[in-house]
Every structure is written in structure tokens, then in C-alpha cells.
A and B are shown apart, each in its own frame.
Chain A
Amino acid sequence: MAVQLFFNGLVTGLLIALPALALTLIFGVLKFANFAVGSMVTLGAYAAWVANVRLGLPLSASAAIAAVTVAAAGVASDQLVFERLRERGSISLLVASMGVSLIIENVCRFAFGNASRGFDVAPSRPIRWQGIRINQEQITTAAVVLVCLVLVDALLRFSPLGRAMRAVADNASLAAVRGVERRTVARLTWALVGALLGVAGVLSGLDRAIDPLIGWNYQIPIFAAAILGGLGSPLGAIAGALVIGVAEEMSALVIPTNYRQVVSFAVILALLLFRANGLFGAKAARR
């Protein structure tokens, strides 16, 4: 059972890896904690649901549509909201992202109601390997997440956008002096983050039921993962996600399952207390 739980934990971790990565990228480039990640995951799940169930497209095409939809939503929210508040400091942005989160979640609720929905995908029984049960969705999830991570890593390392993002992340004003336009970088970052969240929405919808709170329910694990990895560090976010996933699932062995949700919080608190800058990345204390 412990091995199974460990394996399940890795899968849960992969599910929160993409949103955690998205959160950390926004934080790195735009310097605020985006509380709208969860609602953007929800938006992605619904966008894919419309494409898959209403329009009858295959899930892969639906995932692409979800990625584009959420990317567009991300860019729009930057243009309409976050850009106008950029000089107001991170706390205004953070509270505004709460507002954006409420808006997106309720747009979904308005359009689709509260009922649970699922993709039009045939479910499958698990493959048994070495006493562990592995199922099709888990393999799909792992493959998709890994591909996304490799792509994002390549993008950050080798593309001009990646260089620009890193420049802005390091020092926005210096980057501006050197001709990197912050607004463009911000827009492109939002597009990238939106695409990641859209895909994450599809994977979450595959894993569980789609409802207006699907993304919100992942919110604390996502934050825990990103903080654990040191906000702003992409690699850290992924490592953090895996640790959180495994910790949450394995905790069932030692504590009652109804306290499982406390695990993320306990990890954050312990980490911030004893190592104030996460596993990788930036300093968390004020001074």
C-alpha cells in the first residue's frame, strides 16, 4: 500500500506541477502571487469540455483549445487589470488577482452551472505492474506534464523570450534600459502561463470531475508547491509539486485522511520557519 500511495503521490504531484510552474513564472517576472491560478485551471477544464463534449473534438485538440483560451484570458486579464496596477506594488496585484479569480470562476458557473461534468473519454482499468496499479490517465498525465516541462525549460533557456523573461525577473528597470520591453514580456509570460494552466485544467478534469471549484480545490497545494520550491524558481516549483503530492498521499498512512489537507500547510509553515527561502530560490523574510 505504501508503494501505491507513493506512486499515487507522484501523479498528484505532476497534476499540480504545471499550475505551480505557472504561479512561479508569474511571480518571477511580475513579482506577485497570482491567486487566479486555480480559476484559470477551471477555465481550462471547461474550455476543453466544450470542445470535447459539445463540439465532439478529440481530447488532444480540446486541450489545445483550452491552452489557447486560457492564454487569451491571461493576456486579457493582464491588459485589463494587472498592467494598470503594476506600479501599485505586489499586494494590490495580489488582491486584484483574488478579484479576477472570483470573476473567472463565476463566469464558468454562469455558463455551465454547478453540475459535475466529465470528458467524453472511455475510462480504462489499471495496468498492474510489480503490485502497483497504474492507469491510462496517469500515463497520459505524466507524459503531457513532462513534455510541457521540457518545452518550458527549452523556452526559458534558449529562446529570446526566455532570456527577456529572465532579464525582467532579475531587474525590470535594468532590462528596460537594455531595450527589453516589460509590457511585451509580461504579455508573453501571461500567454505561456495561460497555456500551461489550460493544459493543467484538462489533466485535472481527466483526473476528477469538472465543476466550478475544480481549480480552487488545488489552490493550497499549488501554492505550497511553488513556495516549497522557492517562489520564482521553475525547477523548484516542479520539485515542490512532487514533494507535496507524495507528502499528501503518503500522509494517509500516519494521520486520519480528513486531516490530509493540512499537510500542504504544515509543509509550507515548517519550511518557511526553518529555511526561509524554500528549497531553491528567493528569500521569504522581509529583512
Chain B
Amino acid sequence: MTDSFVVNRRAVVAGLGALPLATAFGRPALAQGAADVPLGMVLPFSGATGSYGPAMKQAADLVVAKVNGAGGILGGRKVKLFIEDSETSATASVAASKKLLEVNKVELVGGFWGSPEALAAKPVILAANKVQMLSCAANAVTEGDTKGLIYRLQAKSSQWGPAGAKVMEKIGAKKVTVLAQQNPFIVAMVEPFKAEMAKIGGQVMDVVMYNPDQASYRAEVEKAFGPEPDAVFVLPLLTDMVSIAKEIFRGGFTSKVVSLGTGADAEGKFLQAVGPEVAEGIYHLQPSPPIDSPSYARFVKEMGAPEGTVFLFAGNAWDQVCITVLAMEHAKTQEAAVWTKSVREVCNPPGEKVDDVVKALKMIRDGKKINFNGAGCTCDFDEKGDSINRSFYVQLIKGGKNTPVGVVS
């Protein structure tokens, strides 16, 4: 057994050693053909964050269809999108990413709603020299060596926290408590929030943490709202926010509630689940998509959502595909290590502003310098791949509707 194994292993290693050479020679020939350009995404469809995946998949599928319908990229080649379930699990995401990279030969592994999934898949994707695009918030993902291959379309945790404090200032809340789920996206917000509160002369009286998947949140709500603070900064995901909001309402608490779009909006799912009465008076913030632009309105319509829906993650998935095809067109290759250098070229100013991906592709072909603005953000990136110029859009739920309060940055 051992002998044959050694032989096998040698054969495998030799074969693998030859692989990069083969691909290096094979690529140009391939690029001239009409083969599809494979892209991949790892999205959550099951587990604790399973409710966020479907809209992202829908958006990505839509934009791929749009690009292909308009003649594809790189001289008529079609984009083919492969989507894997992250199972809200880092382990599953590694297997999924490997499958995308090695079997489907994707140039982009995008999606990544959750930070643990992104952190676990990061070494795998970087080792393959492909691009990783994120819709998650934990600072750690873009820290360390990113080889210039990582782009985050979401705001970082450390940006969310201070934004929350500014909302507190806006609504005149001085004494506040924090009620937060123990997860990597949220825990990184708490300290920056406290620091910013101190700066604006407020006081954080208590931080109440809870675990995902609890049977009830009665005791936690009691603890956070019991001391009657001016406002409570509630940092949830969707499922727990539905329970917590019910608890707050039934408890008859009077403190104001400032929450996150991840929980208290979730692209309209929150209101659907709790109804207008329970949701009344809850403030929530999220990194703002270009709400007023016609292209965003078009995006909402294409998603089949009611007018004015603020998409938080679906827009990220949409933009990930857009940025990738634009950068590929700009670099005139599907090779990730090459087109990653084009990402800032097509996304950051200066350049003619454009938000329609088909139009943008055409402009690139015409040799124009463009500045792409997406459906989820302006898509401008710093050298670490974090998106810059993030402002947060604050809404108040009133009469069963999200009503804009303003923008903080």
C-alpha cells in the first residue's frame, strides 16, 4: 500500500508541477476561442445567515444575463456564473471555493456574506492567484497581505460603529446601552462605537451581548432596556431582530431603538415579518447605495422589489460581477492576476461617471476612461481593497414604511 501510494503521490506532484506551465501556454489560445468566462460566488443559503443568500444570487444572475444579452465580454464571450452554498460555515466555504477554483476554473470568487467564511477562504483564493470580492465587514479580511487581489464592497465594521454614534447624536441620545449579537461582523463595531460616543459626550451605560440561535431574548431585552436609557443601539441579524423587536414592543419600553439595516430592514423582510406596529419608531442605518440615481431605481425594479427598497447585499453581488467584467474588458484578459490591476482604473475617479454595466463595457471598448458607480456603492477602492467614501443611510420606520432620515458619514 505504501509503495503504490508513493508512486501515486509522485505522479500527482509531477502532474501538478506541470500544471502551471500547461496553463501558462494554454491560456492565450483559450482566450482567442469563444469559451465561457467562469466566475464564482460563495453565498449563504443555509445556516444562521441563510436568509441573505437568495437576493444576492438573484442580483448576480440578473446582471450576468444582462451582460451576456448585450453580447458578453472580451470579444463576444459569455460569462458563466457558478454559485456555491457557504452553509454559513467556514469549512464548507473552503471546500466550495476549492471546487470553484479547481473544477470550474473561476477567475473571481465573490459573494462572501460572512466574515468567517471569507477569512477561511482567503488563503485558498490568494494561493490560486484569483480575485476575492467580499460583502462582509470584519476588518481582518483586508488586513495582512492581500496580494492586491481582495476587494470589499461593504463598509468595514470599524466604520459602522462611529456611524451609529453619529445617529445617536442626531436623535439627541446621550445615555445609551448596546444590545449586540456575538458575531464577527458585530463585535468589531462595539469598541469604535463606544469611542465615538465618548467623543461626542455621550455615555454607554451597558453592553449586553447575546449568542446567535437563542430560544428567547427576553432577559437580554430586559437588561438593555430596563435602566431606561435614551436609546439602545441594537446590533442584530434578521431572525433575532424579529424576536427582539416583538419583545421590545410587548415590553412597552420607551427608549429609542437604533439598529442596523442587516436586522431591522433586510431588504424589507423585517417589516414583512413583524408588521408595521412593532416596527414603528425603529431607526436603522446601512451603508448607502446610490439611492437617488436612476440606475439604482432600475436595479430595484429589475429585482422585482417595491420602489424605495434599500438593498444592502444584493447590490454588492451585482457590483462584484460588474466590476469583474469591466476590469476584464479593460485588461483585455480573463486572467485575474492581470485584470485586478484594472479594477481601480475602471472604478475610481477620475473618469466619466457611468452606472450601467453594458454602457460601461462599450465605453471601455471605445477607449474611454470611466468611473463606474454600482448599485450597492460608488465602488471606489483604496490600496487595501476597502471601499472608500462610505456614507451611511439612516432611515426611520414610520407607518409601516422606511422613511429617510438623512446620511451620516
Contact = CB atoms under 8 A, between A and B. Distances in A.
The answer on direct contact between A and B (beta carbons under 8 Å) is yes
Contacts of B226: 1, 4
Interface stretch (B32-40, B142-150, B203-211, B401-409): B203-211
Contact of A257 (B213, B223, B273, B275): B223
A160 interface: no
B220 A252 contact: yes
Contacts of B357: none
Contacts of A256: 209
B278 A123 contact: yes
B6 to A, nearest CB: 39
Q: Which of A15, A221, A260 has the most CB of B within 10 A?
A: A260
B216 interface: yes
Contacts of B215: 12, 16, 208, 217-218, 221
A208 B51 contact: no
Interface size class of B (residues with CB under 8 A): 35 or more
B54 A209 contact: no
A5 B45 CA distance: 36
B208 A115 contact: no
B277 A115 contact: no
A211 interface: yes
Given A123-B249, A133-B252, A213-B213, A8 B219 contact: yes
A252 B223 contact: yes
A118 B239 CA distance: 11
B119 interface: no
Contacts of B9: none
A93 to B, nearest CB: 25
A257 B218 contact: no
B238 A116 contact: yes
B98 interface: no
Contacts of A260: 210, 214, 219-220
B246 A114 contact: no
A96 B254 CA distance: 48
Main secondary structure of the interface of B (DSSP, over half): helix
Interface string A1-21: 100110010011001100000
A211 B239 contact: yes
Nearest to A118: B273
B275 A12 contact: no
A261 B46 CA distance: 23
A252 B219 CA distance: 6
Nearest to A221: B215
B219 A209 contact: no
A125 B222 contact: no
Nearest to A117: B273
B219 A249 contact: yes
Contact of A5 (B214, B222, B239, B275): B222
A122 interface: yes
A109 interface: yes
Given A123-B246, A257-B208, A258-B182, A116 B219 contact: no
Contacts of B242: 116, 118, 208-209
B51 A115 contact: yes
Contact of A114 (B51, B182, B216, B250): B51
A103 B222 CA distance: 36
Contacts of A116: 51, 238-239, 242, 269, 273
Contacts of A211: 51, 239
Contacts of A133: 250-252
A83 interface: no
Contact of B275 (A109, A123, A126, A251): A123
Contacts of A109: 46, 50
Interface string A203-227: 0000111010100111001000000
Nearest to A134: B250
A248 B219 contact: yes
A125 B252 contact: yes
Given A208-B246, A209-B239, A218-B215, A114 B273 contact: no
Interface string A136-154: 1100000000000000000
Given A5-B222, A114-B45, A257-B223, 15 more contacts: A1-B222, A109-B46, A116-B242, A122-B275, A123-B249, A124-B250, A125-B252, A133-B252, A207-B243, A207-B246, A208-B242, A248-B219, A257-B208, A258-B182, A261-B214
Interface of B: 45-46, 48, 50-51, 54, 182, 208-211, 213-220, 222-223, 226, 238-239, 242-243, 246, 249-252, 269, 272-275, 277-278
22 contacts: A5-B219, A114-B50, A115-B273, A116-B242, A117-B273, A118-B275, A123-B277, A124-B250, A125-B249, A128-B252, A133-B252, A135-B251, A208-B242, A209-B242, A211-B51, A211-B239, A217-B214, A249-B219, A252-B220, A257-B208, A257-B220, A260-B220
Interface of A: 1, 4-5, 8, 11-12, 15-16, 109, 113-118, 122-126, 128, 133, 135-137, 207-209, 211, 213, 216-218, 221, 248-249, 251-252, 256-258, 260-261
